[in-house]
A and B are shown apart, each in its own frame.
Chain A
């Protein structure tokens, strides 16, 4: 049944730091690379070197500009992927039971053998986390690298989502958001992590850390405000006089 579990033991998810994300797209690229051979493989990749490339990606990195009046504009690089919501309407709308949320860890997955490709789940997701595979005729989405995080063939430190492992600035964090002692929960509390579109009531698991306040003025290091004007004489003095006219 595509009813949601009343509660999940763990709430595995991501915490994404919008302060340190530089928008390099490495997370999206490594996501595509791992997942085109993973749980929902293959991910279609049409016309990759042509004018109109198309295909399924589980992670997309947007860039926004925030205009803040007299303060300098702010650039926000914003990676967007499945938030593995508590109240995942993409699961309950599914007419076939292909879409489901795991009671053990809260991961939302699609069983592509049962999916009829009606696309209703993608309509029900506010965040655009699901993309349709036109090749196979089924819906695909982020698996939170379910085939990595429990994979005993990998070294323990590698049992994390591909996007988290590859991030060069450490802007992505993976862990159990149900455990208040976990690193991700502590980070969320310290940095006032946000839910996306909380007004829709999906209760996403993933949190986004807003940028820290930035200094507008430089620190006073005792240097003069302006360079002192020098008096030139001789040829340079004449040149200064001519050019100043």
Chain B
């Protein structure tokens, strides 16, 4: 699949935003973060800014962005519509949480409920995003049990890395929160490694023989294409990434997305002051880069079944 910049930017940026929002909601409700105006403002503003910029970017790839509101109507059948509805609904408890935290400097009672609801809706939005991909039977690399947990855990992980920066900036270091960041990075790394290893050994069911209805008659190869230059299908679904480049990018993603942020996040627990702040900022910067590479691979390595008509023998 063609790795469109707008969709990569949307899923990584909003993913991190929803992750941070959920962290703010849960940790705020649990009283693990100070009910301080500036803490609330910084955390929630940054979370909602990431979410909103990402959502806005996702409309850039539409052919008719002015009709984007129509995408909220078919929630009964479409995961894309459900994602849109959830994204809009999430703003309501998030705004209430912000009102309590920033205006009243209170994260207990009803404001805590708003925090928990924000977290649940944020996670549901990310699950809906992942389900858009998971539900496509045409793409085996997405239509498997690893896609949804990967999206959810990577969102939680991106949020935790951001939360680490926030608590160090405000000087409210907390071993439990920093420990959570380390644990989510380790879990995220493990899960994504399993996702990649699954897609390395597993193939989709359709073959070029079943695609043209000639089963078991022999080896089928393309004799002539229907058109002399690339059409929409070849441009959108025919994206090919060289295996050596993919392998190199995967190493970069392993290192910058998971291994180094894990090391720096753990190191931040052993040092303090500016050294700890430098560690968590580095972890965040590296992790963001690694997750963008990971998302690029998610699209570039997805093989759509239509490729069977254009020379692929398996997908």
Contacts and interface: CB of A to CB of B under 8 A. Distances in A.
Interface of A: 1-3, 18, 23, 25, 28, 51-57, 60-69, 74-76, 78, 80, 89, 91-98, 114-120, 122-128, 131-134, 136-139, 194-202, 208, 210-211
11 contacts: A64-B212, A65-B220, A76-B214, A78-B309, A93-B78, A93-B80, A95-B74, A118-B61, A118-B63, A122-B232, A138-B64
Contacts of B139: 123
Contacts of A60: 226-227, 231
Contacts of B237: 122-123, 128
Contacts of A25: 226
A160 B132 CA distance: 37
Given A114-B67, A125-B306, 9 more contacts: A65-B223, A66-B217, A67-B220, A89-B137, A93-B77, A93-B79, A94-B74, A95-B72, A127-B211
Interface of B: 1, 61-65, 67-68, 70-74, 76-81, 84, 132, 135-139, 205-206, 208, 210-215, 217-233, 236-237, 304-306, 309
A95 B84 contact: yes
Given A116-B68, A199-B206, A95 B214 contact: no
Given A3-B76, A53-B229, A197-B206, A126 B71 contact: no
Contact of B65 (A116, A131, A195): A116
B244 to A, nearest CB: 27
A57 B227 CA distance: 10
B227 A195 contact: no
Contacts of A120: 80, 132
A126 B65 CA distance: 26
Given A93-B80, A114-B70, A64 B221 contact: yes
B80 A117 contact: no
A124 B72 CA distance: 19
A95 B305 contact: no
Contacts of B228: 53
A115 B67 CA distance: 8
B71 A62 contact: no
B80 A118 contact: yes
Given A53-B228, A97-B70, A132-B232, A126 B218 contact: no
B232 A65 contact: no
B71 A118 contact: yes
B71 A116 contact: yes
Contacts of A134: 63, 232
A2 B77 contact: yes
B200 to A, nearest CB: 21
Nearest to B228: A53
Contacts of A1: 74, 76-77
A74 B139 CA distance: 29
A119 to B, nearest CB: 7
Given A69-B218, A114-B67, A122 B212 contact: no
A25 B219 CA distance: 24
Nearest to B302: A123
B218 A68 contact: yes
Given A62-B225, A208-B212, A208-B213, A119 B236 contact: yes
